[in-house]
Structure formats: C-alpha cells, structure tokens
Structure 1
Amino acid sequence: MTTNYLKSVKGQFAYYKGLGDATFDQLADDQLFEKYHEESNSIAIIVMHMSGNMMSRFTDFLTTDGEKRWRNRDAEFDTRLLARTTLLENWEKGWNCLFHALDSLKDSDLNREVFIRNEAHSVMEAINRQLAHYPYHIGQIVFIGKMLCNNKWRSLSIPKGRSDAYNANLFSKPKSGTK
C-alpha cells in the first residue's frame, strides 16, 4: 500500500506541476511579473516562493530540518525582474529537488520522523503537508494566468460549456480491460 502511496503522490505532484507549466506556456514574459495591486503576488513571486520552499523542504529531506538556515523566505516575496529562463530554471530546480527526494524514498521511510521548523512529522505527513501547500499556490498561478489571458485562455481541464461533450465521450467508450 505504501508503494502505491509514493506512486500516487509523485503523480499528484507531477499533475500540479503540469498545470503550472501549461499556464506559463500561455503567458508572455511580462505577464509573469504582473501584480493586481502592490500587496498581491505576481506569478514570478509565487514561483520563487515555491522553489525556495521545495529546495528547503526536500534538500537532505530525511536528515535535516525542512526549514534550512540558508533559506531567505522573505526575499522570495520581493519583486524582482528576472529573465523568463531564470524564473523557469528556478521552477525546475525546485521540482527536481522534490522528485529526487521522493524517488529516493523506500516504503520503510514513510513512518520515519522528519522535522519542519523543529516540528516533528512522519515522512508521510511532511509529504502530505507539501501536497496541500503546492496545489494551493498552483491554483493561484492558474487563476492569475486565466485573468491575464482573459478570453484567450486555453482551459486546463474541461472547458466551460463542454461537460456534455466530455461526458458523452466518457460514457460511450468501454473501460480498458472490459469487453
């Protein structure tokens, strides 16, 4: 069952990363830095926060506290103009760190104790904590992207008004393995 857990969480993280990737693909470089107002976050700020969080949480995941001394969380929320390539390199760096850590886990690790800000968690709890945190921010990225694209937005799920066509297609095909 735990092997299924690891496979499932890797799939969930990959799915949410894909939503972010698909959003970036629809945006011009300058849109990554747009803010609704001074106190809001741009997509770039959210990306830098997520990358910093992933690097901190998943570097030496089993052996060091998930809040690293070298992390400067407040700086992640500073408005910076980066090249799109630099921003996306940070995005990939964070995700690669996360997936590397997950790939290194064995079923027997899931009940081990790890710490985040000196608070004990089982490995499974620590992963679940991030599986709640990252989709929250991916939702923000998608929402901001959708607002910026307006009527040029390409849906990342079932487009509005297309549920009937989707359901007709879904229910008309036999499920794999059935005759």
Structure 2
Amino acid sequence: MELEYINSIKKQFEYYKSVGEKTFDQLEESDFFWQYNEQSNSIAITVNHLWGNMLSRWTDFLTSDGEKEWRNRDLEFESVIKSKEELLEKWNEGWQCLFNALESINANNFNTKVYIRNQEHSIIEAVNRQFAHYSYHIGQIVYIGRMIKGDDWKSLTIPKGKSKDFNQAKFLKGKHSGHFSDDLK
C-alpha cells in the first residue's frame, strides 16, 4: 500500500506539473512577468516561490527539517527571475528535487517521521501538504495565464460548453475498445 500511494501521488504531481507547462506554452516571455497590481504575484514570482519551497522541503526529505536554514522565503516573492529561460530552469530544478525525494521513499523508510518547521509529519501528511500547496499555486498560474490570453486561451481540459461532446466521444471510444480510459482529469 505504501508504494501504491507513492506511485499515485507521483502521477498527481506529474499531472499538475504538466498543467503548469501547458500554460507556459501559451504565453509570450513578457507574460511571465505580468502582475495585476503591485501586491499581486506574477507567474515568475509564483514559480520562484515554488522553486524555493521545493528545494527546502525535498532536499534531504527524510533526514532534515523541510524548512532549511538557507531558505530565503521573503526573496521568493520578489521579481528575481529575469527571463523565461531562468524561470524554466528553476521550475525544472524544483520538480526534479521533488521527484528525486519521492524516489527515495520505499517500504523500509515509509514510516519515517519527517519535520516541517519543527512539526512532525508522517510521510503521507508531509507529501499531501506539499501536493495541496503546489496545486494551489499552479491554479494561480493557470488563472493568470487565462487572464492574459483572454479569448486566445486554449483550454487545458474540456473546453467550456463542450462537456457533452467530450463525454459522448469518451463513451464511444470506450465502447469500441471494451474499456473506458481516464485520459483527462
């Protein structure tokens, strides 16, 4: 059951990573730095925060507190990323750190207690905490992308007003193949 959970949550993290990347693919470089107002975060600021959080939480996940002394959380909310290339480097570095940590979890260490800000968590609690945090911020990234693109936005899932068409196509596909797939969340 432990490995089933890890495999399941990896798929969920991969899904949300892909949602962010499908948003990035629709944007121009300047769009990553757009802010609704001075108090709002741009996509670049949000990615910088995700990167800082991921490195802090997942580096030495099983052996050290998830809030590292070297983390500068306040700087994560400043406009420090200056290009799409830098944004993608940080995005990928953060995700790689997360996936490496998940790969280190096995049946022998699954019951290890981990700490975040000196608070004890089971592995499931710690992973779920981060999953909720990251999906929240990726939702913000998607929302900003949709605001920027307006009518040019390409739906990442089922387009508005197309649920019936989608469900009919999935039903017919499943009926002909003998099973129903779960291609889209």
Normalised by the shorter chain, which TM-score bucket?
Answer: over 0.9
- Counterpart for residue 30 of structure 2: 30
Deviation of 1:57 (Å): 0.2
Q: Does structure 2 conserve the Cα–Cα contact (< 8 Å) formed by 1:111 and 1:124?
A: no
Q: Does structure 2 conserve the Cα–Cα contact (< 8 Å) formed by 1:64 and 1:115?
A: yes
Distance of 1:128 and 1:55 partners within structure 2: 16
**TM-score scaled by structure 2?**
0.93
1:8 aligns with 2:27: no
Give me the identity figure in percent: 55
> CA RMSD of the aligned region, Å?
1.2
Distance of 2:163 and 2:59 partners within structure 1: 42
Q: Does structure 1 conserve the Cα–Cα contact (< 8 Å) formed by 2:45 and 2:81?
A: no
**TM-score scaled by structure 1?**
0.96
Alignment of 1:73-88 (within 5 A): 73-88=73-88
Q: Does structure 2 conserve the Cα–Cα contact (< 8 Å) formed by 1:109 and 1:123?
A: no
Distance of 2:81 and 2:169 partners within structure 1: 44
User: What 5-or-longer segments of structure 1 have no aligned partner?
Assistant: none
- Counterpart for residue 110 of structure 1: 110
Distance of 2:174 and 2:23 partners within structure 1: 32
User: Residue deviations 1:110-135, cap 9 Å, x none?
Assistant: 22101000000011110010011000
Write the letter of the residue equivalent to 1:136.
Y
Distance of 1:108 and 1:163 partners within structure 2: 44
SS at match of 1:100: helix
Deviation of 1:86 (Å): 0.8
- Counterpart for residue 138 of structure 2: 138
Distance of 1:25 and 1:106 partners within structure 2: 35
SS at match of 2:115: strand
Distance of 2:75 and 2:147 partners within structure 1: 26
Distance of 2:11 and 2:100 partners within structure 1: 14
SS at match of 1:105: coil
SS at match of 1:107: coil
Deviation of 1:95 (Å): 0.1
Q: Does structure 1 conserve the Cα–Cα contact (< 8 Å) formed by 2:48 and 2:81?
A: no
Moved over 6 A (4+): none
Deviation of 1:107 (Å): 2.5
Tell me how many residue pairs correspond in the alignment: 178
C-alpha distance 159-48 of structure 1, shift in aligned 2 (>3 A): same
